[in-house]
Chain A
Amino acid sequence: MASSVVARRYAAAMFSLASEEKAVDKRADDLARAVETLGSREVVDALDNPRLDVANRVRLALDLLDGVGDQVRNMVRLLVERKRIASLPGILEQYRVLADRAAGVVHADVTAAIPADKALITQITRALRERFGATVRVQVHTDPAIIGGLVIRVGDRLIDDSVRTHLQQLQASLR
């Protein structure tokens, strides 16, 4: 849990640097590449291994990040030195949250019982845009277990109008 606080701080710092340079999206790509290279368990263990001296570990990390922007390389150096490299995926996640918030983008996760067609997705997107007043990126899953209706998740907000939930409510009211 404490690590998410750490990630938030680094992400905020990185984001404010990136927005000063107007390179928010490029920085996100850099971060994503860094996570891809350094995010695996084994690499994190190696970079956190106190048997290797810090200079070597930093060099190792930076060698792996060939072609990634300087700012991200510098942050990785800092993270390795401070034994925080395990927070890197969390930093990316928080960075994306900050970037979305700044750009006014909302990610909606929609679950439907049947595969949704294009018209339905457009309709959902429009409805959500009215509700949240932001650009909405909708991702649709199919899950027959909800029987019918829709379950929409936006961040930790949940809007549940599925037949499954209504049946559960009915069951509770008949008890």
Chain B
Amino acid sequence: MAIRSDEIGDILKQRIASFDAPVVDAHEGVITSVGDGIARIYGLEQAMAGELLEFPSAPGGLPLLGLALDLREDGVGAVIMGEYGHLQEGDTVRTTGRIAEVPVGDELIGRIVNALGEPLDGKGPVETSQNLPLENVAPGVIFRQAVTTPLQTGIKAIDAMFAIGQGQRELIIGDRQTGKTQVALDAIINQKDSGVVCIYVAVGQRRQTVAQVAARLDAAGALKNTIIVAATASDPAPMQYMAPYAGCAMGEYFMQKGKHALIVYDDLSKHAQAYRQLSLLLRRPPSREAYPGDVFYLHSRLLERAARMSDAEGGGTLTALPIIETQANDVSAFIPTNVISITDGQIFLETDLFNAGIRPAINVGISVSRVGSAAQTKAMKQVAGQLKLDLAQYGELKAFAQFAADLDKRTRATLDRGQRMTELLKQPANSPVPFAQQVIAIFAGTRGYIDDVPVERVGEFEKGLVRFLSTDHPEIEKDITDKQQITPETETALKAAVEEFKKGFAG
């Protein structure tokens, strides 16, 4: 695009003509010490908690802002959001009268932004008309209603055994390299046609990883209803601290409009670490694992903002999928126990399972959804009622069975069923399964139709069955999708269809 110099002149002329110089009326303080992204400021007695402060900008640089976090009798401790190399003792700092806030709105959908809502994807400025404060008090009890509608993740194991409801907070927890992010991304990908707006908050990750996530969502066609909020490892700790709250504010906008939103915090362990850094530099007393005393509140106030609003309030929802990374499967470390106790359940992913090829590597025994069956469709309850118990039993028996040569008939049957169900619940990445197809596959499993199929052919059987039903008996899938339950007539038809398919499959 050619830029004509007289055009620039015109624009500048306009800007100068319309420039309205406001009188600065602020409070002023003096920096007494600065370093490690923290400034201590003398004065500023009128500063508000969480207020944005204006620091002197670097020569020729952009305005430099800070956040007043520590209000003391004799001054303010503030975190500086940006490069602070030019700041010196004695520099003056002004209040702005603004509490930290982020732009929110539909315009953000499909964009990658930082913790302040500024674009990072090179697609031009984000023109929003509204801002919401970073910190917002979670909706009160009377503004909420019980979680009853499922949020389909498209992951068979989760939708069948640990159903997530809209407005629920379900923790995804596990060691590094166990597919935590993948589970969250699959859930996002499955929302591409459901009208649920997704927000992916990356905290303390590599920029490379964030770029990969964006590319994967784009390839799956899910970026068009997703906002990515990125505060990467190279961003200052204050930005990493703010990113989840920024993403949450963006999600709350949709919830308040009566829409549905899903937010993924990837991950809150790094968030706690960023906050620990800030707190230690602000000289707050450290407690367990050197985290500050209010690290529980850090996460509880964030996750409490996920809610299902009552119908009088528009009925919007914000579902949260926080992610926590454990070290060597230790769920009893400080941050994991905190977040486990705040959330409505957890999906526990294990390295051993992952390496054994069971993906998603969900440990059925200790994963749980405390909203669970209330947020499951009738159809899924009909077919998957016993599944979790069966698989948990299988997990226990499996260990014994390795030593026993001959087992009684019932044990043998439990083992066989467990093996095949585990096989059935395997699912490759980036391939969410529609609800009705999940029901059909699990129907075949729990009603014993795969008990005589060789274990290594279960996957093939499932694929074949689903394909067969959608070509030869599309009415069954449609009926389940429409009615959200299996009527006695459909059940008869489904049984007949599965038997018909089995005849062809064996040969």
Contacts and interface: CB of A to CB of B under 8 A. Distances in A.
Contacts of B25: 157-160
B23 interface: yes
A123 to B, nearest CB: 16
Interface string B20-34: 011111111100100
B465 interface: no
Contact of B28 (A1, A156, A165, A173): A156
A90 to B, nearest CB: 10
A49 interface: no
Given A160-B24, A165-B24, A170-B21, A1 B75 contact: yes
Nearest to B27: A156
B46 interface: yes
A14 B496 CA distance: 96
A166 B19 CA distance: 10
A4 B12 CA distance: 49
Interface of B: 12, 15-16, 19, 21-29, 32, 40, 42-46, 62-63, 72-75, 94
Contacts of A158: 24-28, 94
B43 A156 contact: yes
A161 B24 contact: yes
B74 A159 contact: no
Given A156-B45, A157-B28, A169-B21, 18 more contacts: A1-B40, A1-B42, A1-B74, A1-B75, A8-B73, A153-B28, A157-B27, A158-B24, A158-B25, A158-B28, A160-B24, A160-B25, A160-B26, A169-B19, A170-B16, A170-B21, A174-B12, A174-B15
B323 to A, nearest CB: 38
Contacts of B28: 153, 156-158
A28 to B, nearest CB: 22
Interface string A1-12: 110110010000
A99 B74 CA distance: 19
A145 interface: no
Contact of A161 (B23, B26, B29, B74): B23
A30 to B, nearest CB: 25
Nearest to A169: B21
Interface in A118-175: 153, 156-161, 165-166, 169-170, 172-175
A4, A157, A159: residue with the most chain B Cβ atoms closer than 10 Å: A157
Contacts of B32: 1
Contacts of A2: 74
A2 B75 CA distance: 10
A5 B24 contact: no
Interface size class of A (residues with CB under 8 A): 20 to 34
A115 B19 CA distance: 29
A156 B29 contact: yes
A161 B24 CA distance: 6
Contacts of A166: 21
16 contacts: A1-B32, A4-B74, A5-B73, A156-B27, A156-B43, A156-B46, A157-B46, A158-B94, A160-B25, A160-B26, A161-B24, A166-B21, A169-B19, A172-B63, A174-B15, A174-B16
Considering the complex of A and B, which 3 residue pairs feature the smallest CB-CB distances, nearest first?
Answer: A160-B24, A166-B21, A158-B28
B23 A173 contact: no
Contacts of B46: 156-157
A36 to B, nearest CB: 24
Contacts of B45: 156
Contacts of B43: 156
Contacts of B19: 169-170, 173
Contacts of A153: 28
Contacts of B22: 169
Nearest to B40: A1
A52 B75 CA distance: 35
B478 to A, nearest CB: 58
A150 to B, nearest CB: 10
Q: Which of A4, A156, A165, A172 has the most CB of B within 10 A?
A: A156
B55 to A, nearest CB: 14
Nearest to B43: A156
A160 B23 contact: yes
Contacts of A174: 12, 15-16
A159 B23 contact: yes
Nearest to A160: B24
Output the residue of B12, B21, B42 with the most chain A CB within 10 A.
B21
Given A165-B24, A169-B21, A5 B16 contact: no
A1 B26 CA distance: 23
A172 B65 CA distance: 14
